[in-house]
């Protein structure tokens, strides 16, 4: 049978510790060259949805032979580019029937090629970002780290906190985000979810000062963490490059990035209004930081570099780019649990296979 | 609803003339840059299936905004490399449950992103190769061409004949392939299918001599058509580069290739026994033919080059590489017909979409 799973199923089946374990094993395989992943591809065209929007077909994939799975993640998006201040944001529109987004993961077996499962990417997309930063913390933060300052109160912040609590015995969490209402609601919700008091604070400095681990979990395209806030022994964690000021990155004794993979393979059709939105802010290049020189998380997990040499070291993990590989690794757990628990719509595998030679 | 279709459905829904029409329109879009396609990617790893086999996750995609569709084609293969004479063949093993292959096409709407259909790639894979060579014939063979010589009697030969009969008024077809039993059975079957007598012959020269159109439809990795057989006014048609001897290609006044797309993006894991099978025979490079210099089928259809200038010209079309784009173009017809005729398993589209932001 081939399983069709929902986001609700994935949320129930995949715990953060399980996802962290699967990624850890998969990254070791990746570092050793036994697991592989390919560069993301983006095909962008005009769409009849609106003149200002574009259609995007995005895919990324990866294979983890040790876990017996491969996965391809596909997004079929309507994207608009509203102007926000001086820059343009990319906004996905839930344009599919019933106001829904379209992102799918297809999971296959490397043992016999069969399609194992099809499920939406949304929940896993969030958990894998958290799990990846969680691994950065596991290998780089001080063993005795117990205080977290988090910037952000959206869904990214939620999975970031779940992840840090899975790898360290956290006792204190302070959260800043610009909108008081959001951060207060977030803190109430997360306190209940984690069983640890998450305290809303009025200024970023109040969250960061004295924190063992600083987590940036926002969608900001400008720095939100500055060098002046760096304290000895701190671990800095970011879910995207621009969040941490380059000077703060330079202040760290150890910096590790998620991957050296290059930017997506981009194919843009004539007439697609896409250029403005992809314009590089120049944050990276202008600051002279060469991300290729930092070791990667798989290299760190494989023991080729150390994450921290001394208690007072400042360490920094930058989750710079996602990989299709993550969907395969975590997908293997989701599938295994779904089979064990009898979750999902089980369709005949013959519907997704064929006797005709392809 | 999202439709799950079978190969039998596709065979019933997609006629060769419809496929040719859809590709013709789509190629025009591609030539104008309004349609786009991306390079195929192949991820290759070891598999537990056997020590000599590899696992391959292959994907290619394309978007045709004018037809309102995008498609991604995915193959999840177990591949062995048996030695045949001095070379290695790549053989896909039907290793999935019930001895089946795994190749899928996912079709999406560019209007709102929604998943329209999922179907196996096998039948469409065959029809699109035929339709592509059919377009080569439509634009390059003499208008009054009525005699076809075909080399090969497998499934490729079948769709090649169906295609030529869709674009020219063919009266005579002669077929050569090395195995008498195969070619005779093929001729009986094709005569019935096409309503034209397809005659088996003992030597390739008997099929080719006096033919207006010579079609190569084999899986040979060595030349099967030679310069000495070229006659004035002939159109040569090949489904893969090595079939036609380079000297014969040079003898043509007009040569058109399917695409200038580069070789697939190949990612190979440590330990995957793959190198031997992909070794280039050097056919292309050694003969000094630069395929990038030949115009492409989309350029031909867009009228940027002529396919034939005189009755006595020798013309040659080389279907050198497939494109994910073809699956989108033909997929739009399959989907439209399936909806009209109520064919396929209709599943709730909500199963393949999501409320969570991906």
Q: Which pLDDT band holds residue A278 (cuts at 50, 70, 90)?
A: very low
User: Is A96 near chain B, with CB under 8 Å?
Assistant: yes
How do residues A47-61 score in pLDDT, each as one tens digit?
999 999 999 999 999
CB-CB contact of A44 with A56 (8 Å): yes
pLDDT band at B279 (very low <50, low <70, confident <90, very high): very low
pLDDT value, residue A288: 74
Distance in angstroms (rounded) separating the CA atoms of residues A288 and A148? 29
Cα–Cα distance between B208 and B203 in angstroms, integer? 9
Q: Which of residues 70-89 of B touch A (CB under 8 A)?
A: 70, 72, 74-78
Residues 102-141 of chain A with CB under 8 A from chain B are 102-104, 106, 108-115, 118, 120-123, 125-126
- Locate the DSSP E strands across chain B: 2-4, 36-46, 54-64, 69-80, 83-84, 87-88, 91-93, 103-109, 115-120, 147-151, 172-176, 198-200, 213-216, 235-238, 254-257, 265-268, 315-318, 345-347
- The answer to whether residue B66 scores a pLDDT higher than 60 is yes
Per DSSP, the residues of A175-218 read EE-S-HHHHHHHHHHHHHHHTS-EEE-SSHHHHHTT-SEEEE--
What pLDDT digit, counting tens, does each position of B170-221 carry?
Answer: 999 999 999 999 999 999 999 999 999 999 999 999 999 999 999 999 888 7
Structure tokens at B138: 């439509």
On the CB side of B336, CA atoms within 13 Å amount to 14
| pLDDT confidence of residue B82 | 82
pLDDT band with cut points at 50, 70 and 90 for residue A280: very low
Q: Which residues of B touch A326 (CB under 8 A)?
A: none
B35, B31, B112, B108: which is closest to B73 by C-alpha? B108
- State whether A63 and B46 contact (CB < 8 Å): no
Please report, in angstroms and rounded to a whole number, the separation of the first and last CA atoms in chain B. 21
Mean per-residue pLDDT, A132-160: 97
The rounded distance, in Å, linking the Cα atoms of A23 and A17 is: 10
Taking residues B268-291, report their average pLDDT. Answer: 67
Summary count for chain A: helices (H), strands (E):
11, 18
Chain A interface, best mutation among B36, B57, B219, by max A CB count within 10 A: B57
Residues B115, B108 contacting (CB under 8 angstroms)? yes
Please give the pLDDT value at position A277. Answer: 43
Q: Give me the pLDDT at residue A87, please.
A: 67
A237 contacts A215 by C-beta, under 8 angstroms: yes
Mean pLDDT, chain A, as a whole number?
A: 94
Question: How much of chain B is in helix, strand and coil states, percent to nearest 5?
Answer: 35, 30, 35
Instruction: Report the alpha-carbon distance of residue A175 to residue A151 in Å, rounded.
Output: 6
Q: Helix, strand or coil for residue A14?
A: coil
pLDDT of A279 over the 50 cut: no
Residue A143, token pair as written in the block: 């063993």
In angstroms, the CA B21 to CA A99 distance is: 34
Strand pairing category for B213-216 and B147-151: parallel
The more confidently predicted of residues A209 and A84 is A209
The model's pLDDT over B218-249, given as tens digits with 9 standing for 90+, comes to 888 789 999 999 999 999 999 987 899 999 99
Task: Quote the CA–CA distance of A344 and A198 in Å, as a whole number.
Answer: 34
pLDDT of residue A346: 98
Structural domains in chain B? 2-125+323-352 (3.30.1780.10), 133-261+277-318 (3.40.50.720)
Most confident of A82-96, A326-340, B270-284: A326-340
pLDDT band at B284 (very low <50, low <70, confident <90, very high): low
> Looking at the partner chain, which of A7, A76, A358 has a beta carbon nearest the beta carbon of B70?
A76
Say which residues have a Cβ less than 8 Å from residue B281's Cβ, sequence separation at least 6. B87, B221, B222, B242
User: What CA–CA distance (Å, rounded) separates A140 from A299?
Assistant: 13
A to B CB pairs, distance under 8 Å: 288
Asked if residue B40 lies in contact with residue B264, where contact means CB atoms within 8 angstroms, the answer is: yes
Residue B99 pLDDT more than 50? yes
Looking at the complex, report in whole angstroms how far the Cα of residue A5 sits from the nearest Cα belonging to chain B: 8
**Which residue of B55, B92, B347 is in closest CB contact with A110?**
B55
Rounded Cα distance between A202 and A179, Å, is 9
CA distance A251 to chain B (A): 33
Which of B322, B336, B338, B347 has the alpha carbon at shortest distance from B75? B322
Tens digit of each residue's pLDDT (9 = 90 or more) over B298-347: 999 999 999 999 999 999 999 988 999 999 999 999 999 999 999 999 99
Identify whether the C-beta of residue A229 lies closer than 8 Å to the C-beta of residue A208: yes
Mean pLDDT to the nearest integer, A321-342: 97
List the structure tokens of B96. 């999935």
Q: Are strands A2-4 and A115-120 parallel, antiparallel or unpaired?
A: parallel
Confidence of residue A259 (pLDDT cuts 50, 70, 90): very high
ipTM of the complex: 0.94
Centroid of chain to Cα A106: 18
CB contact under 8 A, A126 and B356: yes
Mean pLDDT, residues A7-28: 98
- Compute the mean pLDDT over every residue in chain B, rounded to the nearest whole number: 94
Mean pLDDT of B130-151: 98
Whether the pLDDT of residue A221 is over 80: the answer is no
Tokens of A179: 């909108």
**CB hemisphere CA count around B75 (13 angstroms):** 24
Q: Which residue has the tokens 């983890």?
A: A64
B122, A358 contact by CB (below 8 A): yes
Query: What's the first-to-final CA gap in chain A, in angstroms?
Result: 21
CA distance A203 to B189: 79
Identify the band that residue A283 occupies on the pLDDT scale cut at 50, 70 and 90.
low
Q: Do the Cβ atoms of B53 and B276 come closer than 8 Å?
A: no
Q: What pLDDT score was predicted for residue B283?
A: 54
Per the listing, tokens 């590489």 go with: B321
Residue B115: closest C-alpha in chain A: A102
Flag whether residue A177 sits within 8 Å of chain B, measured between CB atoms: no
- pLDDT reported for residue B81: 83
d(CA A53, CA A81) in angstroms, rounded, equals 7
Q: Which ranges constitute the DSSP H helices of A86-179?
A: 122-140, 155-167
How far is it, in rounded angstroms, from Cα A304 to Cα B204?
61
Partners of B126 on chain A (C-beta within 8 Å) are: 356
Q: Which residue do the tokens 């995007």 mark?
A: A56
């Amino acid at each position: 049978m081939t399983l069709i799973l929902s986001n609700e199923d994935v949320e129930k089946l995949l715990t953060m510790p399980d996802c962290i374990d699967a990624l850890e094993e998969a990254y070791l395989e990746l570092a050793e060259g036994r697991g592989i992943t390919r560069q993301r591809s983006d095909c962008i065209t005009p769409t009849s949805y609106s003149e200002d929007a574009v259609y995007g077909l995005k895919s990324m994939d990866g294979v983890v032979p040790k876990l017996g799975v491969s996965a391809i993640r596909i997004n079929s998006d309507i994207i608009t580019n509203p102007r926000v201040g001086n820059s343009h944001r990319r906004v996905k529109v839930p344009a599919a029937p019933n106001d829904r987004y379209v992102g799918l993961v297809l999971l296959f077996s490397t043992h016999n090629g069969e399609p194992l499962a099809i499920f939406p990417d949304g929940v896993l997309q969030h958990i894998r970002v958290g799990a990846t930063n969680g691994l950065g913390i596991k290998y780089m933060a001080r063993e005795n780290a117990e205080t977290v300052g988090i910037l952000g109160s959206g869904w990214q912040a939620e999975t970031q906190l779940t992840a840090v609590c899975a790898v360290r015995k956290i006792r204190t969490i302070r959260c800043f985000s610009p909108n008081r209402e959001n951060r207060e609601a977030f803190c109430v919700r997360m306190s209940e979810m984690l069983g640890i008091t998450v305290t809303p604070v009025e200024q970023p400095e109040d969250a960061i000062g004295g924190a063992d681990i600083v987590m940036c979990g926002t969608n900001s395209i400008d720095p939100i963490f500055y060098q002046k806030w760096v304290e000895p022994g701190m671990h800095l964690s970011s879910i995207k490059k621009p969040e941490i000021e380059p000077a703060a990155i330079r202040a760290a004794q150890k910096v590790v990035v998620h991957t050296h993979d290059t930017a997506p393979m981009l194919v843009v059709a004539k007439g697609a209004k896409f250029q403005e939105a992809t314009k590089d802010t120049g944050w990276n290049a202008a600051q002279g930081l060469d991300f290729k020189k930092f070791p990667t998380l798989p290299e760190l997990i494989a023991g080729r570099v150390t994450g921290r040499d001394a208690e007072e070291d400042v360490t920094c993990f930058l989750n710079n780019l996602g990989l299709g590989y993550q969907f395969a690794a975590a997908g293997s757990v989701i599938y295994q649990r779904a089979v064990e628990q009898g979750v999902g719509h089980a369709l005949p595998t013959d519907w997704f296979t064929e006797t005709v030679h392809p």
